[in-house]
Amino acid sequence: MSHERGNSIEATVDEVLRSISVTPDCQIESHLNGAEEDIASKLDLGSRIVEVDGQTVTDSGELREVLLSGDLSRKVSMKYEKVNEPVQQVKIEGSVRYDGRVSALARQPSRDAVMSELADEDTSLTTLQQTAFLTSPSKSPKTTSRSDGSPSVANSASKTEAEVDNSSIASSSAFTAANMGDAPDNNMSTAEYNRKSDVPQLLEFEQITTPVLPEEFNTQSRRASEGTVRRRIMQAVEMVPLGACVICVCHEVNPIAEIELVAMTLNRPIVTVDLGVKLRLRPKPEAFAEQFKAAMHEGAWFVLINAHKSIATCRVLEELLKEIESRNFEGISPNARVIICMEAHPHFPQFL
């Protein structure tokens, strides 16, 4: 039977397979009928299996591969973690490097500086409101007195307002005189205006045609994004030192297509390994190591696609890079590069 040791549990492979069902991220989804009582009590719902016999597992495919790699009657040691369980706080400040810079907490402004900034914003807002009130035509007494006393000035003012109104109306075809009808006379009674105008009280916004962005807009933005990615990849492969990796994390852009274009431009051979395929189609560790060593000796670009799908293979790559580094990169071509295309993953090897 099984027994617990800290956050680990030991049981036979057969007992594990007959007791639990897991989600794609190795979280315990349910207990099966006839489950072992000890396993069900330790691996409760919401627990997540993170390691089997010292090998990290990140998805249900890797978990099943490790469990079925030997005899079903053998005992395995599984480490697990519980969801929403309080853990020791990790100090991030000074422990994470991003673009060659050590992380740090942002400087907090002093209380006096914050209060001064808020006071300046209130003052500018009040001034803006007063300016808008004084320059409004309907509220300005100067405009009213001139309109009453001087017909010529009133005509010029109305002409200026008419020009502004005409420019506004010309920019929108939904509010022309043909659509809105004639403007009501101030001396006309409500009943007379209702008989004269047949315009509905509410506009039918469904009939207003809104301009659609042209197709060239999306094409140009996509080209700009692809051009930026291509330039960054070219800069990375030129600047990265021997033995280091170029990691591509892209959104809405296919990085392998850009990498192949850069490789063609620089006349570099490329070796591609896709870890997003089914488990049985992925290369075995021995074949993976042979592909990697051949690419490094020939000066090719070794490109790993969907690396987040198999962290176990990433760990194999980590060991290979450590090995060639320990041999001082003997026999490795200076043109060789290691490029990893992936999505963010919490268990990605830190060495890479």
Per-position DSSP letters for 310-347, written without gaps between them: -HHHHHHHHHHHHHHHHTTTTT--TT-EEEEE----TT
Contact 352, 311 (CB under 8 A): no
Average the pLDDT over 210-232 and give the result.
Answer: 57
- State the pTM of this model: 0.40
Query: Which strand (E) or helix (H) includes residue 339?
Result: strand 337-341
Q: Most confidently modeled of 35-49, 104-118, 240-254?
A: 35-49
Chain mean pLDDT for the chain:
72
Give the confidence band of 147 by pLDDT, cuts at 50, 70, 90: very low
Whose CA is closest to 318, among 351, 274, 346? 351
Task: For residue 201, give both structure tokens.
Answer: 């009280």
Give the confidence band of 192 by pLDDT, cuts at 50, 70, 90: low
Residue partners of 48: CB distance under 8 A and separation at least 6: 25, 26, 27, 28, 80, 81, 82, 83
Domain regions of the chain by residue span: 8-82, 229-342
Which residue do the tokens 């047949």 mark? 198
* For residue 156, pLDDT beyond 70: no
* For residue 190, pLDDT beyond 60: no
| CATH 2.30.42.10 at 8-82, yes or no | yes
Q: How far apart are CA 161 and CA 176, in angstroms?
A: 17
The terminus-to-terminus CA distance of the chain in angstroms comes to: 39
Whose CA is closest to 284, among 273, 300, 295? 273
Contact 347, 58 (CB under 8 A): yes
Provide the β-strand partners of residue 225: none
- Higher pLDDT pick, 285 / 222: 285
- Higher pLDDT pick, 133 / 36: 36
- pLDDT digit string, tens, across residues 40-65: 888 888 788 888 988 888 888 888 88
Contact 249, 344 (CB under 8 A): yes
Q: Most confidently modeled of 127-131, 136-140, 318-322?
A: 318-322
**Kindly report the CA angle at 59 between 56 and 62, in degrees rounded to 5?**
65
8-82 against 229-342: fold identical: no
CA atoms within 13 A of residue 109's CA, in its CB half-sphere? 8
Average the pLDDT over 88-103 and give the result.
Answer: 61
- pLDDT for the residue 140: 44
- Higher pLDDT pick, 193 / 293: 293
Indicate the pairing of strand 337-341 with strand 301-305. Answer: parallel
Per-position DSSP letters for 216-232, written without gaps between them: HHHHHHHHHHHHHHHHH
Task: For residue 137, give both structure tokens.
Answer: 């035509």
Give the confidence band of 302 by pLDDT, cuts at 50, 70, 90: very high
Q: How far apart are CA 46 and CA 329, in angstroms?
A: 45
Average the pLDDT over 128-154 and give the result.
Answer: 49
Whose CA is closest to 313, among 336, 291, 298? 291
Contact 268, 240 (CB under 8 A): no
Residue 105 CA: distances (Å) to CA of 114, 115, 117, 119, 130? 18, 22, 22, 27, 41
* For residue 172, pLDDT beyond 70: no
Contact 2, 42 (CB under 8 A): yes
Total residues belonging to the chain: 352
* For residue 159, pLDDT beyond 80: no
* For residue 26, pLDDT beyond 50: yes
| CATH 3.40.50.300 at 229-342, yes or no | yes
- pLDDT for the residue 232: 84
